[in-house]
Structure 1
């Protein structure tokens, strides 16, 4: 929650494709409906967002997914977002994802295939990078896997490890963060079948399993996660379309329900949200159905903090569509908000 006690939503977009920047919106406490309240026009292509928390309240961070690469932070505890310092160059190309880890901000740099670590000042202002950790390797895809392409970086639920998902090298890397030196050190690499092109992963609420979504091959890989040893182990690869699919697809974003019974995956190409069930162990997965995403090219999915609504950022149709959720796990479309070139949704 922000300083006013009301939940807010923030929506990233691609300004290079006609997006307005970052849209901030109010969230209806009963229906989850979004109403636009303003626009932040600070950096180009703020395609992905993350929220951290400082003493005074929440801080919103965005990447600038450009060839130069930058991040920016905003105090969003009040009614109007306030820029914290100037945007900070990441020293890496095309940061496409970011996350807050203790007193650091981390970006996954798709263009340069690296992870950048930036310390945060006491008020949450991003500072100059303390390290840039390059990935190594390639994959079999003739266009998308000629080099590393880090697509996501996040901390595990225990807070002890940093994981990065690399589409270009068919791998998930586990790193240690030294909070004193601000350096990342590679600890473990989990390899996936060649050509998977992993994009994002999501953790089980218990923190003992993770689900890796392939972009180049439409699959979800169930993995066992050991936070004591920092080892991620693949168990089973499950196709999102067991009977095949007649059009090219690029899955984008996985989300696990708060009751750990369902996983949703956005699929670009079919413009759907795949619905999968999880058993009580978290290791047995079954494709249940799929529903229209409410627009075209769903780039991101986000779960309402209360778990009752799911939001799809539909890039090519320029909207955020929200869905009601119940015990069946099948999303039911409830409404939408026009946001040109929408790319990500977060809450604070």
Structure 2
């Protein structure tokens, strides 16, 4: 075999192999009482579990790979919010994780983390804890800096909002100067400026959502010299795009540009009113916006087990193409591969998307056309225990 042939064969092998981490809530009645962080090997169209760790608590809700060689995981701890915790894992060469540290969190229901200030600080959004916390990070040791609550604020009108603030996501802006927090319960997105000297967050004017919309997650997008913010709203399954202006005296202002249903321009409100939009992300090439829909079944897909011919219900993944003025053009509604796709992630070049279908106990990988933005045929699938809610490409 020639050297050229060997090189091509080597490239083909490396291109078809990858590893993923999937986190989930543990089964309510199983030998695995706690939640889990599983390592998946993805080689030649086959997904296989190669390792499992159950040291991240009962309800691991988020995996953060922002620190080199580490995975940060928060335990949501529904039943015992006083046990909410931040876990640090070392990433081994084979993709498995090794528990190295745990830090207690003084506020319950953590669901999202965001490293900021060059990795020296960490912000945590607390859905069940009605607020947010910040930490200093010194060589992987996390110490509490701030504990900010919104217990006495007026909530939105819907049942999902009545019990208070539900801060659901923490997002760093493109300049690295701000962290924002969509709050489903209060119909606002909290805006904070970073004090780089202390690592603390300084609050500025909020972004007000329409009443009853329930902002859940958000993603910034750069187009030339302009910055836009896309906010996905769980309670109405809509994305709103805003043009962002940086105020010289501090803070951000937002101009609404567009509002679109995550079910497309021909969505039937009689059906989609039951939707619960979840994740939102910009594609790696910065050309598309991808979002997930839960709770509304519009299609069926093959069973994860190829020996089982029974099809299963599937929720959906929406794709938009943002224009330079912030308007969103509809591209596609594709199956997610199961129910309640709480989280998804595109691989590095955007050619594949991994989806964690929480209520179907599976992870699916679909092929994706990077030019059109459309999601295509299934590439691989695997059943996982409990309720998978987070999936990351390593």
Note the C-alpha offset of 1:63.
0.7
CA RMSD across the alignment: 2.2
Question: What's the CA shift for 1:16?
Answer: 5.5
Contact 1:274 1:287 survives alignment (8 Å)? no
Mapped to 2, the partners of 1:23 and 1:274 lie a distance apart of: 23
* Structure-1 residue corresponding to 2:147: 132
User: Partner of 1:37 in structure 2?
Assistant: 50
Does the CA-based 8 Å contact 1:324-1:331 persist in structure 2?
A: yes
1:64 aligns with 2:50: no
Q: Does the CA-based 8 Å contact 2:289-2:322 persist in structure 1? A: no
- Per-residue CA deviation, residues 219-254 of structure 1 (Å, 9 max, x unaligned), is 100111235654141322212234324151101111
CA distance in 2, matches of 1:14, 1:224: 37
Aligned to 2:393: 347
Following the alignment from structure 2 to structure 1, what is the Cα–Cα distance between the partners of residues 346 and 315?
Answer: 16
Structure 1 residue 174 displacement after superposition: 1.3
Residue aligning to 2:99? 83
Residue 295 (structure 2) pairs with residue 269 (structure 1): yes
1:25 aligned onto 2:40? yes
Higher helix share: 2
Q: 1:244 aligns with which of 265, 268, 272?
A: 268
The DSSP-based 3-state class of the residue aligned with 2:231 is strand
Q: 1:109 to 1:34 in 2, by over 3 A?
A: same
Q: Is the 8 A contact 1:16 1:44 kept in 2?
A: no
Say whether the 8 Å CA contact 1:47–1:343 is kept in structure 2: yes
**Residue aligning to 2:19:** 8
Matched with 2:309 is none
User: Any idea what SS the aligned residue of 2:212 has?
Assistant: coil
Single out whichever of 16-25 and 193-202 deviates more from structure 2. Answer: 16-25
User: Hey, what does 2:201 align to over in structure 1?
Assistant: 184
Aligned counterpart, 2:366: 323
User: In the aligned structure 1, how far is the partner of 2:295 from the partner of 2:277?
Assistant: 8
Could you tell me the TM-score, scaled by structure 1's length?
0.88
1:164–1:16 Cα change, 3 Å: farther
The secondary structure found in structure 2 opposite 1:316 is: helix
C-alpha displacement at 1:295, in angstroms?
Answer: 1.1
Q: Is the 8 A contact 1:90 1:128 kept in 2?
A: no
Residues in 1 aligned to 2:375 and 2:339: alpha-carbon distance in whole angstroms: 16
In the superposition, the TM-score normalised over structure 2's length comes to 0.79
User: Residues 87-143 of structure 1, C-alpha deviation per residue, up to 9 Å, x if partnerless?
Assistant: 212100110111222212221001121111122221x23x23111122344111134
Quick one: distance in 2 between partners of 1:225 and 1:175?
14
Pairs within 5 Å for 1:150-161? 150-161=167-178
For 1:145-178, what per-residue CA distance to the aligned partner results, in whole angstroms no more than 9, with x for missing partners?
4411100012112211111110011111110222
Determine the C-alpha separation between the residues in 2 that align with 1:11 and 1:65: 16
Contact 1:275 1:330 in 2 (8 A): no
Gap change, CA 1:143 and 1:213, over 3 Å in 2? closer
2:310 is matched with which residue? none
Residue of 206, 220, 225 corresponding to 2:239:
220
Question: Where do residues 90-169 of structure 1 align in structure 2 (5 Å cutoff)?
Answer: 90-101=105-116, 102-122=119-139, 124-125=140-141, 127-135=142-150, 136-169=153-186
Structure 2: segments with no counterpart, 5+ residues: 1-16, 297-313
Structure 1: gaps spanning 5 or more residues:
1-5
